Structure 1
C-alpha cells in the first residue's frame, strides 16, 4: 500500500500553508481586477471575454465568461492584440453525424452573434501566398469567423467512414 508524504508532519502543514498562500494571492488579484475592470470574470490585465455560449454541463451557475466551460467563445488577448476562438472538444460523441451537428450548431451560434453585432460574415480569405490552414487566433472577429466556417465546412464535408457521405 502506497502512502504519500503529504499526510505526514511537516509535509501536510507545508502543503496547507502553500495552498493558503496561493488562495490569498488569487483572491487579491481577483479583487484588484474587479476594482480595475468591474468584473474579473469578464476582463483582466491580459484577457477580455468578448462572447461565448456556455456548455450544458457547466456547473458554475453564472453567465458565460473567462472561467466558465463554454462550447464556443471569443477572447481578446490584450498583449498580443488578437482575438482567440475557443471550442470545447472534451465530448465523446456517439458517431460522426453527432460531431458534425455539434460543430454546425456552434457555427450557427457564431453566425447569430455576427448578425447581432452587425459584423461581416462574407469576408473572403485567400489561401494562396499565405499559410493554408485555419487559425484559432486572428486580428478581427470576422477573420475568426471565416476560419471557423472553413474548418466546419471542411470537417462536415469529409468522408469519414466507408459508405458515409457528407450532407453538405
Structure 2
C-alpha cells in the first residue's frame, strides 16, 4: 500500500528543478507535440527588402552598366569608376575585406547582399553564380540614392 502512495506522489509532484523536456527537443506552436531539434524551422527572412533589392538590381542590369565577378570588380575599383559594390553573403572573408579596403580607397559604398552567390546571380538575371558586382551606372534604377540595407 505504501508503494502505491509513493508512486502516486511522484506522479503528482512538480519537479521544478528538472527540465520538463529533453534538451534536444522543442515544442511546436501549433500543437504541443515534442519535435526533435532537427525539425525546428529556420527564421523567416525579410522578403520585402530582398524583393525590392532584387527588383532594383534587375532594373540596373537592364538599363545601367555593371561588372560581374571579383576580378572585374577589382579593376573598376582601381580605376575609380565604381559607384556601388555588392558582395554576396557567402563570399570568403579575405575577398570581402579586400573589396571593402579598395572601396574605401575609391570612396565607393558597399552593400552586403543577404543571399548567397547563387541568389545574387539569379537576382542579376544570370544562370551562373556571382559573388561580387560593381555598379558603374545605375541607369533608371534608384539603387544608388536609397540605402540598400
TM-score range, shorter chain: under 0.3
Give the number of the structure with larger relative contact order, counting CA–CA contacts within 8 Å between residues 6 or more apart.
2
Q: Which has the larger radius of gyration?
A: 2
